[in-house]
Homo-oligomer: A and B are copies of this chain.
Amino acid sequence: MTTAINHILVVEDEQHIRRFVRTALESEAYQVTEAGTCTQGLQDIRTQRLDMLILDLGLPDGDGVQLIQTLRTWSKLPVLVLSARSADQDKIKALDAGADDYLSKPFSTGELLARVRALLRRSQFNPETASPLIHFGDIEVDLSQRQVRRRGEAVRITPIEFHLLSLLLLNAGRVMTHRHLLREVWGSTYVESNHYLRVYVGHLRQKLEDDPSQPRHLLTETGIGYRFQL
């Protein structure tokens, strides 16, 4: 199956709505992460590569509007608000805080998905949200566009290679354990297949390192895992 490139974070405390939204999104092959609280949500936003945030306003541990405002001080991540309230003032406050769309409950799967598509479509036109370029050596990586360049020339990257690379880049400087990488890329049944990693790390070194036998960026942490040094 085709790799989902759109990653959506759903912040919602009510269990059943969360499941409802997740199911809807997954049926369209989006990658979904869930959070139940503001704090957890912010945590996820900081650590994950996301394309969109779906946020319920009525969270137990804090004000959703507040969260949007904080978020907007450093990110343009598209935000779709869900809310039980349908009063004008609520909508206006949320939208002016920086939300991009506001959907009152109850809502249908169809409308939710259509609004998600519209939002993703629009935000992907926007070059500023889209391109946190990552540089190292003579390589340039654009994660949101799934592109890798070496001295300006496009480098061919397979889906698995790209998945692995983006994990390492998003956690640049940190050690990523074998198990963690394997679980993310191949799934939890492969956490012991260290061999896969060796092979694909090898591929990436061939494509990215000046001297693949003397890697300067994609480093191995013997007995632990790998680390990416920008």
Interface string of A194-225 (1 = CB under 8 A from B): 00000000000000000000000000011111
How many copies of the polypeptide does the oligomer hold?
A: 2
Q: How many residues of A contact B (CB 8 A)?
A: 50
Q: Tell me, in angstroms, the Cα distance from A200 to B36 when the chains sit together.
A: 44
Contact in complex: B111, A88 (CB < 8 Å) = yes
Q: How far is the CB of A160 from chain B (nearest CB, A)?
A: 9
Q: How far is the CB of A6 from chain B (nearest CB, A)?
A: 9
Q: Tell me, in angstroms, the Cα distance from A91 to B175 when the chains sit together.
A: 34
Contact in complex: A145, B117 (CB < 8 Å) = no
Contact in complex: B224, A2 (CB < 8 Å) = yes
Q: Tell me, in angstroms, the Cα distance from A81 to B27 when the chains sit together.
A: 27
Contact in complex: A224, B5 (CB < 8 Å) = yes
**Interface residues, chain A, CB within 8 Å of chain B?**
2-3, 5, 28-29, 76, 78, 88-89, 91-92, 95-96, 98-101, 108, 110-111, 113-115, 117-118, 121-126, 128, 145-147, 158-159, 171, 173-175, 177-179, 183, 221-225
